[in-house]
Structure 1
Amino acid sequence: MLLFATLLFWILSNNNAQAFQYDLVIVGGGAAGLFAAGSASALGKQVAIVDLKQELGGGCTNAACVPSKALRSIVRTSQSAPEHVRSVVEAVRAREQPQQMLERNSNLDLHFVQSCCFTDSHTMELSFRNSTKCFIQSRHFLLSVGADPAIPFPFQDQARAARLPLWTYRSILQPEETEFWDTVKSGHLRRLLIVGGGSTACELGQSLGRLLAHNTTLELVAPALLSEEDPSLQESAQKLLERAGVLCKLDVKMDKILENKSIQLSDGSYLAPVDGILLCVGRSPQLESLHLHQAGVEWNKNGVSIRPSTLQSISASHIFAAGDCADLIDKRSRTSAHAAYMGFHAVRNMYVPWWLRIGSSSQHKVVPRVIYTDPEMARVGLTRKECQERYPDFQSVLVKEEGSDRADMERRERDTEVTFLELRASRSGQILGGTACGPAAAELANSMGVAITNRLSVRDLAKSIHSYPSHGYLLYRVALSMALSDTRGFLESCGPVGKILAGLIGAVGSSVRIIRSFFAAHVVREKPRTNNL
């Protein structure tokens, strides 16, 4: 009966008297938008994607993820960096051709516009490059406009006064942008300052160091490298940058750009005049032009204010946000993969009855973060600091790759001194997080992410045979050592009877901890009463 009533309500609510041109309009054709469009059209919904660019894929395909990895790859060869980046981006774009998408999907429309904005809660005005305009109406909207590199206004004015170019990752990675590479080719880039210590600064800093260090002095200024990551990863990041020829000046910020092109730092010191600045100081969603107030949508500098459980706007329930433009998404989780996950779940929340969604989150709690340096650096799950705060008795094992068979085999072809694997687990053995630096760090983070998501223990991980001498074999060895160091893990390895005994030990241990916690809390509550007497 409940099923029938829910389906009836769903049918009526999706076929009300008001007629809309679309069931769903998606603003932004990046990872979140493309996944959402595919999901909604598969449900038979009429969908439109509105984008300011003439190509799909968003920043990841055209100006960030794909071209940055292409740049990392090209430093190992003698090919021209901008030409290789352009060819890789064009190859990926070819697989996302708008015409092919339209041919495959009869429920989809694409609108490439010069600008777009809300005129009321269900209507958008589209302005095209040929000076024409139109209005479209929709039952639902999904905002997935991503974010742009941040350029603080004071630095813009100061750089303009000094006639100094300010570049971002888009200046280097977007194939249509050529100013940076023209400056490099002309030989006028003798000193380059990189401002920021996040993943973008590390990736581009290493690649540019390897490409330009023989002609250009590269210096990086930041309060810290990868400030939200584990110290082991921060240490590796600094070594990789310095080995690429980048001078790292940490614990300071760029305070001011002077007219003679020198740089004043936050500690009062100065850097010699530079020929250009690469700003890697974060990203921010650009929402002003959408006129969200016309649709009753609340937003702030971090993005659209959403309900985390459903991704709905807190003030306009038919409008959703996913990816970098949703305010409650942790900055460490703002990846293209997570944006795609959220895009699908936004559509699910629009059209699937609530009772089918009980117990399912619209945001993933375990998002791998990978810094695509060479070798890669990755972290998934809780950091060491977070484990200390939530699990004071957690266990952690860090193993350097140096000295392993795989490292011995490849010592001459790559850096094996900075590579490592760290695995963190609770006292019961449940995997909490992991950090890695190595050629396959991203894949190791994926494996550890599967384990964390499915609440696996180090004992579960140790049961699986990993191929030898793969990079994953190091993860297997670490899990095995952690499992066998525990009585329960050793008993489980003995066989079925040992597994039963291990389960009993675990149950008894949990009961003891619960009883201890109860009496500890009881004593704490009673103590003030005794003092009052």
Structure 2
Amino acid sequence: MSSYDVIIIGSGPGGYVCAIRCAQLGLKTAIVEGRETLGGTCLNVGCIPSKALLHASHMLHEAQHNFAAMGLKGKTQSVDWKQMLSYKDDVIGQNTKGVEFLMKKNKVDWLKGWGSIPAAGQVKVGDEVHEAKNIIIASGSEVSSLPGVEIDEKTVVSSTGALEMKKIPNKLVVIGAGVIGLELGSVYSRLGSEVTVVEFLDAVTPGMDGEVQRQFQKMLTKQGINFVMGAAVQGVKSKGGKATVTYKLRKDDSEATIDADTVLVATGRRPYVDGLGLEALGVERSERGQIKTDGNYATNVAGIYAIGDCIDGPMLAHKAEDEGMACAEGLAGQKPHVNYGVIPGVIYTHPEVANVGKTEEQLKDEGVDYKVGKFSFMGNGRAKANFAGDGFVKLLADKATDRILGAHIIGPMAGDLIHEVCVAMEFGAAAEDLARTCHAHPTYSEAVREAALACGDGAIHA
């Protein structure tokens, strides 16, 4: 029986980052993973492979729509789906091998197999039981479906199946207008599929800024994606390699159907804790199945901690990473802190969508007196030169103090631009601080500065 200071169950972004940080801080560490490769859902069947396909399909879109205007002429590009999947798999391989290298570099033992916790201080992997002073659960999440919708990963697929389809479907129905559904819907729309998104609510990307939601849906509609909003899916029937989706419109309770070659179920995710033995241990969980933790990520059972998708909060890889580092530092005697008010969210469509902090709707509900600074990318020289003038930057600041309360960006490189605002918010900056910071010209980042200027006397190029 081997003994460790820390055993981490799960090697996704939360787990492997936590393992590295534990090892850096002098703790004898092991990580448990049952997959053939490390990296969890994110690297194997989530963030990384989806971004590879988003990039490839965006390059196709550029070739088809913008190359000729730039004087780049030649044979029209065609899609070799098998090669595109091979490219995606190569990207996965490079990243998962990189994580394995980092484990070896930091002397973290990989306990290969699926883990369970037979008792506090013990982790069982296969037939072996290992002792640990501390156990950190970083088991992540799994796909959550709907009643009457059975996922077979052939005709009715989850995000996992959508990343490895045998062929590009002629008709794809996406159930759910959240991040995963819109990203993968965009991929297949660019590749030639007729894509229809069916959403229960009346707006895409629930919880985001209302103005961004409306503008985003218009942009995606212009790109060829169809939307059926306010529709409750009743079920999906598969027959002969085809599928029929039945839904009811909430506004009048009328029922309708839509046929598809493939149906992508993108209705969210739920904590994955099966087989860990939490019930027998008495680990408390919420009604939604999340493991309950305190401010130090400790469960109610001494020596057992949890981070990432399996606890409360947004299911984001970078949120899990921050919690992994904080949990490790806490075990090493430090006083870490995760600022949950400054965790950005990004949708990697084109244009990208990014946000951090409060929305206008939240500020109104909270009774906060705020001001808005907004700047369109059509006023940004770099964006216009790159056929990327759609979208805007919106900055929200406290009306009395000018402190930045939130930012919402829809446009080119939004996922990178948002971090300028994140750093500013982390330091309690005012909009004027951003406005008075010199930005290189010509860059997309100037749009952020212009939005900050718009919070004061006015943007220059508006």
Q: Given the two structures, how large is their TM-score scaled by the length of structure 1?
A: 0.76
Alignment partners' CA distance in 1, 2:186 and 2:405 = 30
Q: Structure 1, residues 442-501: CA drift from partner, whole Å, max 9, x if none?
A: 12210111111111001111221001121111111221232336xxxxxxxxxxxxxxxx
1:56-455 alignment runs, 5 A limit? 56-75=38-57, 76-77=59-60, 78=77, 80=81, 81-97=84-100, 100-101=101-102, 103-106=104-107, 108-113=108-113, 115-127=114-126, 133-156=127-150, 165-173=155-163, 178=164, 180=165, 182-184=166-168, 189-213=169-193, 217-222=194-199, 223=201, 224-258=203-237, 261-267=243-249, 268-300=254-286, 301-307=288-294, 309-313=295-299, 315-326=300-311, 328-329=312-313, 331=314, 334-352=315-333, 357=335, 360-362=336-338, 364-411=340-387, 414=388, 416-417=389-390, 419-427=391-399, 428-455=401-428
1:45 to 23, 27, 35: 27
Letter of the 1:49 counterpart: I
- The structural deviation recorded for 1:124 is 2.2
One-letter amino acid of the counterpart of residue 69, structure 1: K
Question: If each structure's helix is expressed as a fraction of its own residues, which one has the higher value?
Answer: 1
C-alpha change, 1:278 and 1:70, in structure 2 (3 Å) is same
- Secondary structure in structure 1 of the residue aligned to 2:364: helix
Give yes or no for contact 1:50–1:111 (8 Å, CA) kept in 2.
yes
Q: Provide, for residues 172-228 of structure 1, a one-character-per-residue CA deviation record: whole Å limited to 9, x for no partner.
A: 23xxxx4x2x143xxxx3322100010111111111101023xxx221100231121
Give the residue type in structure 2 aligned to 1:110. Answer: W
Q: Distance in 1 between matches of 2:246 and 2:146?
A: 16
Which secondary structure does the structure 1 equivalent of 2:160 belong to?
Answer: helix
Percent of aligned positions with the same letter in both sequences?
23
CA distance in 1, matches of 2:428, 2:37: 40
Q: Amino acid of the residue matched to residue 425 of structure 1?
A: A
> 2:306 is aligned with what amino acid?
A
Alignment match, 1:481: 454
Cα distance in 2 for partners of 1:44, 1:164 equals: 46
Q: Between Structure 1 and Structure 2, whose CA radius of gyration is higher?
A: 1
What code does the residue aligned with 2:124 have? Answer: E
Counterpart Cα distance in 2 of 1:401 and 1:220 = 27
Give 3-state SS (helix, strand or coil) of 1:155's partner: coil
List gaps (5 residues or longer) in structure 2.
Answer: 61-76
Contact 1:420-1:438 within 8 A present in 2 as well: yes
Q: In 2, Cα distance between the equivalents of 1:343 and 1:124? A: 19
With over 3 angstroms needed to count, the CA separation of the structure-2 counterparts of 1:392 and 1:40, relative to structure 1, is: closer
Alignment of 1:435-514 (within 5 A): 435-484=408-457
Q: Is the 8 A contact 2:376 2:447 kept in 1?
A: no
Q: Write the deviation string for residues 115-134 of structure 1: whole angstroms up to 9, x where unpaired.
A: 3222111222212xxxxx11
CA distance in 2: counterparts of 1:90 and 1:164, whole angstroms: 23
2:112, 2:125 within 8 Å by CA — same for their partners in 1?
Answer: no
Conservation of the 8 A alpha-carbon contact between 2:162 and 2:264: no
Determine the structure 2 residue equivalent to 1:496: none
AA partner of residue 409 (structure 1): A
1:362, distance to aligned residue in structure 2 (A): 4.1
- Aligned partners of 2:95 and 2:297: how far apart in 1? 29
Which amino acid counterpart does residue 161 of structure 2 have in structure 1?
Answer: S
Which sections of structure 1, spanning at least 5 residues, go unmatched?
Answer: 1-18, 128-132, 486-533
Higher relative contact order (CA 8 A, sep 6+): 2
**What's the offset of the Cα at 1:276?**
1.9
Query: Deviation at 1:392?
Result: 3.4
Report the RMSD for the aligned CA atoms in angstroms: 2.2
Counterpart contact for 1:285–1:325, Cα < 8 Å: yes
Rounded to whole Å, the distance in 1 between the matches of 2:135 and 2:383 is: 51
TM-score normalised per structure 2? 0.87
Secondary structure of the structure 1 residue equivalent to 2:442? coil
2:171 counterpart letter in structure 1: R
Q: CA deviation at 1:271?
A: 2.0
Provide the rounded CA distance (Å) in 2 between the counterparts of 1:212 and 1:311: 45
The alpha carbon displacement at 1:391 in A equals: 4.7
1:262/1:270 contact within 8 Å kept: no
- Contact 1:192–1:219 under 8 Å retained in 2: yes
- For 1:73 and 1:386, the matched residues in 2 are separated by 33
